[in-house]
A = this chain, B = another copy of it.
Amino acid sequence: MRDIARATNLSQSTVSRVLNRTPTLVPIAEETRERVLSTAVALGYRPNPLARGLRGASTMLLGLIVREITDAFFAGAVEAVTTAAAKRGYNVVLGHAHARADEAITLWGVLEARHCDAILLLGDTRDQPRLLQDLAGAHVPVVALWQGAQTAGVPSVAVDNQAGIRAVLDHLIELGHRRIAFVGGSRLGDIKEREEAFVQHLARLREPLRDSYVQHGVNEPASAVAALDRLLALPEPPTAVVASTDVLATGLLHGAHERGLLVPAQLSITGFDDIPVAAFTVPALTTVRMPVREMVELAVEMALDKPDRARDITPQALQPKLVVRASTGRVG
């Protein structure tokens, strides 16, 4: 920038004012503006975000803490975030928490130190109350995604898990299923909400919930395989299994095939999220499509475009949509 000032015989401050097209208190001559801009281009000027941030201005950095990036669903979400951020000229600083909340806290500190303009939190971290506490007292807008609906203190964007589960259950009931089991990945956030929605909706439909029909584990295919084994060992094994995520559903499909069960003839399986691979499993997975892009867009908008109002907004949960494919069929 100093080079530009020298080349144009102007002061460095004037150059700064021109380049920021800022709604400045003082006016700038049109001729000067053009002269500066052209020489800026000629000299290949690139602003230094470090110096800008140092002065307290925007760093154009969006912090992103993601709990488990290996998860296909979150990978897609990260993509959506980078896209939405890039659209606004922002860069994304990625923090990976390895599913360990204490690391998330560390990351949090790091990102704050980096003066990110906003921070997005992907995936549930409510098992770590201290993190949310820190977050609430932060001087950077924070928006949480996929933490479940009732996140206290932190603005969040959620999906209507109840509606999704209702759609899945109605679909299975309509196909004649009565023995429907649930496989959850953990007891956190969205997963927990889906489990509760499962139990509640079954009760509302006056369908019995049998013993041990709700299984837990971690959100990995292997865990689903183990849960399936437990379900099949029951005196009255289920004819349909609702998985709380597509990742688990993938494990169920695999487990069923390994044990010689035909899907959907002998066992119907549903997922949740509609990750890209869900359309290409064997058989293709009936699941609930998550409006990832919409949710991310909304979150980024909240975080960057109207950060001051973010705290007040409690957006209604966005609506998911049932996608029927080949992994569900009439009870056999």
Give the B-binding residues of A (Cβ under 8 A): 46-51, 53-54, 59, 64, 69-70, 72, 75-76, 78-79, 82-83, 86, 91-96, 98, 109-110, 112-115, 221-222, 225, 250-251, 253-254, 257-258, 276-277, 279-284
Contact = CB atoms under 8 A, between A and B. Distances in A.
Contacts of A86: 96
B277 A221 contact: yes
Given A50-B115, A79-B96, A282 B280 contact: no
8 cross-chain pairs, A with B, having the tightest CB-CB distances, nearest first: A75-B75, A82-B96, A282-B282, A221-B280, A254-B280, A94-B94, A257-B282, A50-B53
A78 B93 CA distance: 12
B96 A94 contact: no
Given A91-B114, A280-B251, A51 B49 contact: no
A248 to B, nearest CB: 10
A83 B96 contact: yes
21 contacts: A46-B109, A47-B113, A48-B54, A49-B114, A50-B53, A50-B54, A50-B114, A69-B82, A70-B79, A78-B94, A78-B96, A82-B94, A91-B110, A91-B114, A93-B93, A94-B94, A254-B280, A254-B281, A257-B283, A258-B284, A282-B282
Given A69-B75, A69-B78, A78-B94, 19 more contacts: A46-B109, A50-B50, A50-B51, A50-B114, A69-B79, A70-B75, A70-B276, A72-B75, A75-B75, A75-B78, A79-B96, A86-B96, A91-B110, A94-B94, A221-B277, A221-B279, A254-B282, A258-B284, A277-B277
A51 B59 CA distance: 12
Contacts of A72: 72, 75, 277
A269 B281 CA distance: 15
Contacts of A79: 69-70, 96
Residue of A53, A112, A115 ringed by the most chain B CB atoms within 10 A: A53
Contacts of A253: 280, 282
A228 to B, nearest CB: 12
A64 B250 CA distance: 30
A49 B53 CA distance: 10
Contacts of A280: 221-222, 225, 250-251, 253-254
A225 B78 CA distance: 27
A105 B79 CA distance: 18
A195 to B, nearest CB: 22
Contacts of A281: 250, 254, 281-282
A20 to B, nearest CB: 16
B59 A50 contact: yes
Contacts of A284: 254, 258
B113 A48 contact: yes
Residue of A251, A258, A276 ringed by the most chain B CB atoms within 10 A: A276
Contacts of A114: 49-50, 91
